[in-house]
Structure formats: C-alpha cells, structure tokens
A and B are shown apart, each in its own frame.
Chain A
Amino acid sequence: EVQLVESGGVVVQPGGSVRLSCAASGFRFDDYTMHWVRQGPGKGLEWVSLMNWDGGTTKYADSVRGRFTISRDSSKKSLYLEMKSLTTEDSALYYCVGASRFWSGYEFWGQGTLVTVST
C-alpha cells in the first residue's frame, strides 16, 4: 500500500522556521519526482515546490523562492521542506505529493500537515 506521511506541522510565530518531513512507503521512491502542495484557509490548492527523482532539479513557486528549500533522502525514503521567514500567508495544510511518471499530475498524496503562522 502506498503511503505518504507528513509530519512537522506546528504553530510558529511570524519570522520563524519550520521543517516538514514526508515518509514514503509502498512505492519506488527513487523513481518519482516529489512535490509539496499547500492549501491555506479559505484558499485553493497551491503548488509550492518540486524535486526530481535524483535531486538534480528543484523548482519553487515565486511566493516561496528564497525562503523554502526542498530536499530528499533516498536512504530514508523521505522528502523535506525547510521553511524560513514565515508569514501569515504561509499558514496552510501542506501536502507531500508524488507525481506520476506517465502523465502530468499527482499519483500519490499524503493527508497533509498543518502549519499555522500566528502571534
């Protein structure tokens, strides 16, 4: 059974930092480009970042570039998102998502981890 389990969600003050983790199982993690997608309160889903299968390619949404860093550890079958200089606009449910190798979309989703940026 495919599983993506996110962790690390927390309540943090503006300007703070958070590291999200995503543990993958049930599929060949090293074969997949992995993404982070988020949904803020009352907002639609927003793509955040991606890293390809070998870590050689990373991309970021304009809204997070320079503040967020995506990484992965194949030995641990895990994906990470380091988030710095957080603002209230970063408050969201963050999903770890596996992109399909054969079509342009998301084959696997986690249940999400909640980050709240608040004083």
Chain B
Amino acid sequence: DIQMTQSPSSLSASVGDRVTITCRASQSVGNFLNWYQRKPGKAPEVLIYSASRLSTGVPSRFSGGGSGTDFTLTINILQAEDFATYFCQQGYSIPWTFGQGTKVEI
C-alpha cells in the first residue's frame, strides 16, 4: 500500500494568514492526489482533485500543487470558515490511502 505522510498534524493560525500543508507519498502517485476538508458534524468535501484542480464551488484562496511524491495545499488569506481538518488522499492505486490529517486551529 502507498503510505501518505501529511504535515503538520496541527497548526495554529489567524484570519488573514497564509497556510501551507504538505503531503508526501511513499512512491510516485503522478497527479492522482486529492485534498479534502472536514468540519465537525459535517460530511467531508473535496477541495482539490488531481493535485491542482479546484473543485466546483471551492473558493480560489485554496490551491494545490506538486506531482510525483510531494504535494501542497495552500490557503491564502485564511478565513474564519476555514478552520477545519484537511487531509490528502492518493488515487493512484487501490487501496486509496489517506494522510493522517491536519487540524487548522485558531
């Protein structure tokens, strides 16, 4: 199975900050890397798919980059509604595997 290592596991930030989360795969996954946001009591939602494509309806302050084994999720100008947990997922090979998650806190 492909191991996904996400960092940091948590971070503290303020409204207006720029936040970057990284995800590293144990082997190349090409651009088959997706990012999700999860808020307490709500269903997770996809933010970025195929490494850099913004999902429909997701604000443009979210962006994704990288390919192969190293990926990033960047949130520019953090908003109050962005405080949540973010996790990456590789779709290169079954079983699709996930990073451990990054909790973005105030």
**Co-assembled chains A and B:** yes
Binding site for B on A (CB under 8 A): 4, 35, 44-47, 50, 59, 61, 95, 100, 103-112
* Interchain CB contact under 8 A, A4 and B34: no
Instruction: Determine chain B's interface SS by DSSP, over half rule.
Output: loop
| Residues from chain B with Cβ under 8 Å of A103 in the complex | 32, 34, 49-50, 53, 91
Q: Chain B 35-71, CB within 8 Å of chain A: the 1/0 string?
A: 0100001111110011001000000000000000000
Which residues of the other chain, B, contact A45 by a CB distance below 8 angstroms?
87, 89, 98, 101
The CA of A47 and the CA of B91, in the complex, are separated in Å by 11
Task: Return chain A residues, CB-CB under 8 Å to B44.
Answer: 95, 106, 109
Residues on the A chain within 8 Å of B91, using CB? 103-105
Closest to A2 in B: B43
What are 30 sample pairs from A and B whose C-beta atoms fall under 8 A apart?
A4-B43, A44-B87, A44-B100, A45-B89, A45-B101, A46-B98, A47-B94, A47-B97, A50-B94, A59-B94, A59-B95, A100-B49, A103-B49, A103-B53, A104-B96, A105-B32, A105-B46, A105-B49, A105-B91, A105-B96, A106-B46, A108-B43, A109-B36, A109-B43, A109-B44, A109-B45, A110-B43, A111-B42, A111-B43, A112-B43
Is residue B83 within 8 Å, beta carbon to beta carbon, of the partner chain?
no
CA distance A76 to B101 in the complex (A): 34
Specify which of A50, A59, A106, A108 is in contact with B89 (CB 8 Å cutoff): A106
Contact-residue bracket for chain B: 20 to 34
**Chain B residues near A104 (CB-CB < 8 A):** 32, 34, 91-92, 96
Where the two chains meet, the residues of B that have a C-beta atom closer than 8 Å to any C-beta of A are 32, 34, 36, 41-46, 49-50, 53, 87, 89, 91-92, 94-101
Output the nearest chain B residue to A44 by Cβ-Cβ distance: B100
In the complex, the answer to whether A105 meets B99 with C-beta atoms within 8 Å is no
